[in-house]
Amino acid sequence: MEQTLDRIIEELKVLKDLDSSEGGLADILNITDVKFDDPGLVSTDEYPYIFVAPQSDEALSGTIGVGWDVRRLTIIIAVVVNASDYFDPSVSEVPGTRQIIQASSKIALHLMTLKQRTLDHTVRNVSVSSIGYVPELRGDAFIRMAVTSLVIDKAYNRSRE
């Protein structure tokens, strides 16, 4: 699981610096960092950011003794913005929502088109199961999050563990 999370973080760090014409996020949101797991409260200068966190790791199939086990990893990828940074009194919409919808759509498209070998040669399937949009109050910040659930089926060689 840990290696898969690290590989996704690497992919997203590249994506954050590309413009949308290249499939990236740079002209949608000025992402400051891609973090391992949800840091919770962060300073205002760290918004917007992305975090990648493990959600579950479950067995799909296995072998007895030496062989391969296949596990289903569910990973969440959240784009987090401080809504007050996007406040515009002339627009009748929740600040930041449009930007996180655009960013999460780009991320989902990128993840769905990843070749399995990009993440790891033992990955058998990559799919996006859902994207949820969550408002939350964190400290003094009213944040908006787009939470993408990524499902990865991965084989583990028991003889190497």
The verdict on pTM exceeding 0.85 is yes
Identify whether the C-beta of residue 8 lies closer than 8 Å to the C-beta of residue 119.
Answer: yes
Residues 133 and 10: their CA atoms lie apart, in Å, by 24
| Domain harbouring 105, CATH code | 3.30.2000.10
Residue 99 pLDDT: 93
**pLDDT score for 140:** 81
How crowded is residue 92: how many other Cβ atoms within 10 Å of its Cβ? 6
The per-residue pLDDT string of the chain (161 residues; one tens digit each, 9 = 90 and over) reads: 898 899 999 999 999 999 999 989 999 999 999 999 999 888 889 999 999 999 999 988 766 666 778 889 999 999 999 988 887 778 777 778 999 999 999 999 998 887 655 676 677 888 899 999 988 888 888 899 999 999 999 888 776 54
What's the domain range around 110? 2-160
DSSP state of 64: S
| Residue 65 token pair | 């003794």
Considering Cα of 122, then 67, then 54, then 32, what sign does the dihedral take? negative
Give yes or no for a contact between 124 and 70, defined as CB atoms under 8 angstroms apart: yes
From the list 160, 85, 93, 161, the residue with the least C-alpha distance to 133 is: 93
Count of the separate structural domains present in the chain: 1
How does DSSP classify residue 116? H
pLDDT value at position 161? 47
Give how far Cα 118 sits from Cα of 15, 74, 121, 125, Å: 14, 17, 7, 12
Distance in angstroms (rounded) separating the CA atoms of residues 90 and 5: 40
Where does residue 138 rank: exposed (0-12), middle (13-18), buried (19+ CB within 10 A)? middle
